[in-house]
């Protein structure tokens, strides 16, 4: 039986709330504001062009950070060698590839276009301890069953004590209600169902970690690292098919580790590591030479890094078990494409299609169409339909 108007309206409201978030946000306004330089700079022991990111603090109501333009940026080492950086696509990139080495000291200098000079303390590269393995196993954590991903390494000399982890996860997405057709608006009161010309059934999404993940082996008196970097509930759709994670292990000196530890406490453990929207100010290892009272946000870091990637399939870890639920509920809605009240849904259909909220699922009995939320039929609406070059 066809749904009543009240039911359809309720469904529309639920879709609008769940997919487009069509509520009026409360606009936060900044009463006071300090324009402060924000520095993000981590040199690693990889022979590559190193990068430094310079931005300015912004008001809460501002959507994007302001990039610091036309600065002079360079790094010097304790032998007197200078490594120059040039502005490139909103970051400053070293002109030549270079690799920090253990035993040397490195210092960052920034000269801004308004004549101010900023320098960092001298930092040294810690001992290198490579990430040996990344494993995935089924575990129950805090009463939740899922996949625990652990980073493993060994430091026989006990010289690498301060660790930080980042990861990039990529996962295969399959649209559960995909069909090879889609509906488009072709006129004021016209729609047409046409053949899809682009991949919309299988996609690949990539997310980067946002938490500040730290480990101090000095607190455990262990020279072996076996650390849980990521836990994913078995009800999370991202592991429904094939999943990959690239884990980066950074080894820091104590000065840098203490900075990240403080930032972790201030930020609650999550968020952009050096977000210009800081919840509070605390100093790093940078200062303004021309005005010692001026605040500077950020830290110049020299760290060793190593990385490993693993893959697994849901069926390998949870054989015979049902897949996790999809990211949205794929409830079907039957609508009549006509415009005579009170039982016609033409205007609603046009509104759905114009905002990409819903997609046609069946149209056998046109002008009676079955619609579902767009992600259920078209994964490219929220994911990437190109296979990553590293995918196996």
pLDDT digits (tens, 9 = 90+) for 122-136: 999 998 889 999 999
Mean pLDDT throughout 231-260?
A: 96
Kindly tell me if the per-residue pLDDT of 14 is higher than 50. Answer: no
Instruction: Say if 288 falls within a structural domain.
Output: yes
Instruction: Look at residue 368 in the predicted model and tell me its pLDDT.
Output: 92
Domain count, the chain: 1
Q: Percent of the chain, pLDDT > 70?
A: 86
Of 3-7, 47-51, 218-222, 276-280, highest mean pLDDT: 47-51
Four-CA torsion 32, 37, 42, 43, nearest 10 degrees: 180
Kindly tell me if the per-residue pLDDT of 72 is higher than 90. Answer: yes
Instruction: Say if 110 falls within a structural domain.
Output: yes
Instruction: Say if 31 falls within a structural domain.
Output: no
Instruction: Say if 286 falls within a structural domain.
Output: yes
- pTM of structure: 0.84
Rounded-to-integer distance, Cα 98 and Cα 356, Å: 47
Give the tens place of pLDDT for each residue, 315-353.
Answer: 999 999 999 999 999 999 999 999 998 889 999 999 999
217 phi and psi angles, rounded to 5 deg: -70, -15
3-state secondary structure of 350: helix
Residue whose C-alpha is closest to residue 354's, from 190, 181, 177, 180: 190
Instruction: Say if 251 falls within a structural domain.
Output: no
Instruction: Say if 80 falls within a structural domain.
Output: yes
Kindly tell me if the per-residue pLDDT of 30 is higher than 50. Answer: no
More confident residue, 85 or 223: 85
Q: What is the CATH number of the domain that holds 113?
A: 2.60.40
Instruction: Look at residue 32 in the predicted model and tell me its pLDDT.
Output: 58
What is the Cα Rg of the chain in Å? 26
Kindly tell me if the per-residue pLDDT of 9 is higher than 70. Answer: no
More confident residue, 70 or 13: 70
Instruction: Say if 8 falls within a structural domain.
Output: no
Q: Percent of the chain, pLDDT > 90?
A: 72
Range of the domain at 115: 37-125+272-303
Rounded-to-integer distance, Cα 161 and Cα 276, Å: 29
Q: Are 323 and 315 in contact (CB under 8 A)?
A: no
Instruction: Say if 377 falls within a structural domain.
Output: no
- As beta bridge partners, residue 77 has 106
How confident is the prediction for the chain on average, in pLDDT? 87
Instruction: Look at residue 64 in the predicted model and tell me its pLDDT.
Output: 67
Instruction: Look at residue 163 in the predicted model and tell me its pLDDT.
Output: 94
Rounded-to-integer distance, Cα 133 and Cα 147, Å: 16
């Amino acid at each position: 039986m066809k749904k009543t108007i009240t039911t359809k309206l309720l469904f529309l409201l639920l879709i609008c709330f769940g997919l487009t978030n069509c509520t009026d946000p409360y606009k936060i306004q900044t009463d006071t504001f300090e324009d402060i330089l924000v520095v993000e700079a981590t040199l690693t022991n990889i022979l590559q062009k190193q990068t430094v990111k310079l931005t300015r603090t912004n008001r809460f109501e501002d959507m994007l950070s302001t990039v610091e333009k036309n600065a002079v940026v360079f790094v010097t080492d304790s032998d007197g060698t200078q490594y120059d950086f040039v502005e490139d696509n909103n970051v400053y990139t070293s002109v030549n590839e270079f690799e920090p080495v253990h035993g040397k000291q490195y210092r960052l200098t920034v000269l801004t276009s308004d004549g101010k000079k900023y320098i960092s303390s001298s930092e040294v590269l810690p001992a290198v301890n490579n990430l040996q393995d990344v494993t995935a196993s089924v575990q129950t954590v805090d009463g939740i069953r899922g996949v625990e991903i652990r980073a493993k390494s060994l430091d026989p000399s006990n010289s690498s004590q301060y660790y930080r982890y980042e990861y990039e996860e990529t996962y295969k997405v399959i649209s559960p209600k995909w069909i090879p057709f889609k509906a488009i608006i072709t006129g004021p009161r016209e729609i047409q169902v046409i053949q899809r010309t682009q991949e919309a059934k299988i996609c690949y999404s990539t997310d980067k970690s946002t938490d500040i993940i730290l480990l101090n082996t000095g607190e455990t008196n262990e020279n072996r690292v076996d650390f849980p970097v990521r836990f994913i509930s078995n009800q999370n759709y991202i592991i429904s098919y094939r999943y990959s994670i690239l884990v980066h292990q950074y080894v820091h000196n104590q000065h840098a580790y203490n900075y990240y530890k403080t930032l972790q406490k201030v930020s609650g453990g999550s968020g952009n590591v050096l977000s210009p929207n800081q919840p509070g100010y605390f100093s790093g290892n940078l200062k303004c030479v021309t005005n010692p009272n001026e605040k500077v946000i950020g830290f110049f870091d020299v760290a060793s890094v190593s990385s490993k990637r693993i893959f697994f399939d849901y069926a390998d870890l949870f054989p015979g078990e049902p897949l996790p639920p999809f990211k949205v509920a794929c409830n079907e809605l039957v609508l009549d494409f006509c415009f005579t009240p009170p039982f016609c849904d033409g205007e609603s259909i046009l509104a759905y299609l114009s905002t990409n909220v819903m997609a046609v699922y069946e149209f056998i009995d046109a002008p009676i169409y079955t619609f579902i939320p767009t992600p259920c039929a078209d994964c490219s609406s929220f994911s990437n339909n190109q296979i990553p070059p590293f995918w196996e």
